[in-house]
Amino acid sequence: MTRASSHLETEIKLRIEKPAAVRRQLVRLGFSIAKRRVFESNTVFDTPTGDLRAARNLLRLRQAGTVHTLTFKGPPAAGPYKSREELEARFTEVASLGLILERLGYAPVFRYEKYRTEYAAANRAGAAMLDETPIGDFLELEGPGRWIDRAARALGFSPADYITASYSSLYQQYCVSKGISPANMVFSRAARK
């Protein structure tokens, strides 16, 4: 299948220890908030036999504030960035959409939550997203590879810092490192900010 460039997502994640310092660096580099901080609840769907995961595909239903988005992501291409087909559609009737997916044979297999703030800069080819998650904070850079490299370097990161793993994989690694059984990557009620 040929991938349309308009539907090709190229990104990396960077683990950050000091979100306030990264916010200041983004502003210094000419970025401003494009979308204010919003709570996201994400549900990943798959078949009972894990066909989508086995093919390295993703089917996700996301609620971010009042916006509900269904996303399909194809398998990532090999390389220093996570580059893959991404198709999205927004919906207002999320309960029915979940039922439709279940009637088609898909079931929820993983839930994850985060707070996301999106940054953009005029005349820049990419965007930066600050994600606050139950397993730590990450900065996601999305855009052409050269732009990602320049932006990461300007923020004090190198290609050795690039993370191309999904939040599901990062959560699994986190659970192993902490010796806990994985479930869903969600905030405790007390931790919700």
Letter for the amino acid at 129?
M
What average pLDDT does the chain have?
A: 92
Structure tokens at 142: 């999305």
Domain that holds residue 185: 5-191
Domain count of the chain?
A: 1
Over the stretch 143-191, which tens digit does the pLDDT of each residue have? Answer: 999 999 999 999 999 999 999 999 999 999 999 999 999 999 999 876 6
Q: How much is the pLDDT for 176?
A: 96
CB contact at 8 A, 36 and 117: yes
Over the stretch 124-139, which tens digit does the pLDDT of each residue have? Answer: 889 999 999 999 999 9
Predicted structure pTM score: 0.90
Q: What angle do CA 181, 15, 149 make, to 5 degrees?
A: 140
CB contact at 8 A, 43 and 61: yes
Give the CATH number of the domain where residue 139 resides: 2.40.320.10
The fraction of the chain above a pLDDT of 90, given in percent, is: 82
Q: Residue 117: CA atoms inside 13 Å, Cβ hemisphere, count?
A: 16
